[in-house]
Amino acid sequence: MDIWQLGLASQVEHVRTKAVSAEDVASAYFERIEAVDDRIGSYLRLDREGAMAQARMVDEQVRAGRDPGPLAGACIALKDIFVTKGVETTCGSKILEGFVPPYESTVSERLKAAGAVILGKANMDEFAMGSSTEHSAYRICRNPWDLDRVPGGSSGGSAAAVAAGLCGVAMGTDTGGSIRQPAALCGVTGLRPTYGRVSRYGMIAFASSLDQGGPMGRSAEDCALVLEAIAGRDPADSTSLDEPVGRYQEACRTGFKGMCVGIPKEYFREGLDPQVEAAVRRGIETLAANGATIKEVSLPHTEYAIAAYYIISPAEASSNLARYDGVRYGYRARDASDLMDMYCRSRAEGFGSEVKRRIMLGTYVLSAGYYDAYYGRAQKVRTLIADDFRKAFEDCDVMVTPTSPVTAFKLGSRMSDPLQMYLADMYTISCNLAGLTGMSIPCGMDGQGLPIGMQVLAPALGEERLFRVAAGYQRLTDWHRRWPEVAQAQEAE
């Protein structure tokens, strides 16, 4: 078995015990990326020089008998929404083309401090606005399980890279499901931590009250290892939580016996692919057969989640994206006749169609005469949704639902119908509106050999509950250990 096929914890242990060098691990990943990624498009840019320098530093510490950190030699891809000092960061947008940040995001800084090796920047929907990674301004990203299908979004590049064995773990962000939905479509494990659990400093903003960064890996144990390294209070982010970091790796070993699993009846209705429902229900049966108690619960305001989300998130986006004006950094239109012409043309030429759509929608719902009717009302609905979860969690420890209503859809099939694209996140959005934590884990395959994801939800700061259920389930099943043909074909070569 090649080193890239091992779980992250095994890779780290190999490096720490000198069974393999961090340089060799990084080199193996770069070789795979070179051989495979032209067909997938999971990376926007690589940082070979920086990665190999980090790897050599880890190896020097190991040889000197010093602790290289809990992520020693772990090769990680960063969604291109995390700023990296000295390495171009574009957020998948032409308006930031050529932007080289003068500072480092807290997430990437903590990863490096823990001994991780950052391979490069992963592809994404522009400014994290999308569910298919077809809105990237630079290249289409394809699903490794079927190259004619989407990997999900907006963290599609991160999910595809993990699925194809092009990194050990990838960092994504989740505003309405952008870690969990692509994880489901690509057959990997993806964690959306509690809002504020991971610092947003240096994570380019989409919707500030909803955004949260988190890991995507082959297993829950991989995600636990990374979360312990990046979680915690950050003085640079006033919204980060001043709460002790959980013992997530220990929770992975605890198991879910005796836990109560709630099944929200609103998540198993019209619009759910029968094959997805069948796979998720088999997953629930596995939990029940191994010591979990199953209980139906209700989240009555679920039907309003998408409408509320697509008022709140564009409103925040229109405010956050006002800073891209062609003056301070990023794209600037040429030969403008005056300042206003420069503003208008820079934004019109620099932003893609989906970003423009959301900016216009957000500006409209915040405008005079419409604020109370739209934005104010959506915030009230958000409170009702949060109350639904609070009440339901009084009767259960976690909830289990489908992650996505469908498996990976064909490239281009939803680009002309924004509403159908938005509905891809119908089961993930409520988690963000309520500030909860959620995880998607593989639970089956459909008749076309495409992965199906099962979502586990827990209350705020309930990550340890998620890891108990997810890791326990993964010890009983092998869905998370399966590789797509693109990875197997390369191995055979």
Alpha-carbon gap, residue 324 to 332, rounded angstroms: 9
Residue 396's alpha-carbon distances to 295, 349, 459, in angstroms, are 8, 50, 10
Backbone torsions φ then ψ of 346, nearest 5 degrees: -60, -45
Given the residues 93, 178, 313, 430, select the one marked as catalytic. 178
**Could you tell me which of 463, 476, 405, 401 has the C-alpha nearest to residue 437?**
463
Q: Is residue 118 a contact partner of residue 169, using CB atoms and an 8 Å limit? A: no
Q: Is residue 275 a contact partner of residue 377, using CB atoms and an 8 Å limit? A: no
Alpha-carbon gap, residue 32 to 37, rounded angstroms: 8
Rg (alpha carbons) of the chain, rounded to whole number: 21
Annotated catalytic, 178?
A: yes
Helix then strand count (H, E) for the chain reads 17, 11
CB burial class (10 A; 0-12, 13-18, 19+) of residue 366? Answer: middle
Given the residues 79, 219, 404, 440, select the one marked as catalytic. 79
**Could you tell me which of 402, 98, 191, 438 has the C-alpha nearest to residue 279?**
402
Overall size of the chain counted in residues: 493
User: Which tokens belong to 60?
Assistant: 């020097």
Q: Is residue 164 a contact partner of residue 431, using CB atoms and an 8 Å limit? A: no
Q: Is the dihedral of CA 48, 50, 56, 61 positive or negative?
A: negative
Question: Other C-beta atoms within 10 Å of 477: how many?
Answer: 15
Given the residues 21, 131, 132, 154, select the one marked as catalytic. 154
Annotated catalytic, 136?
A: no
User: Which tokens belong to 274?
Assistant: 């029968």
Question: Other C-beta atoms within 10 Å of 41: how many?
Answer: 21
- Residue numbers annotated as active site: 79, 154, 178
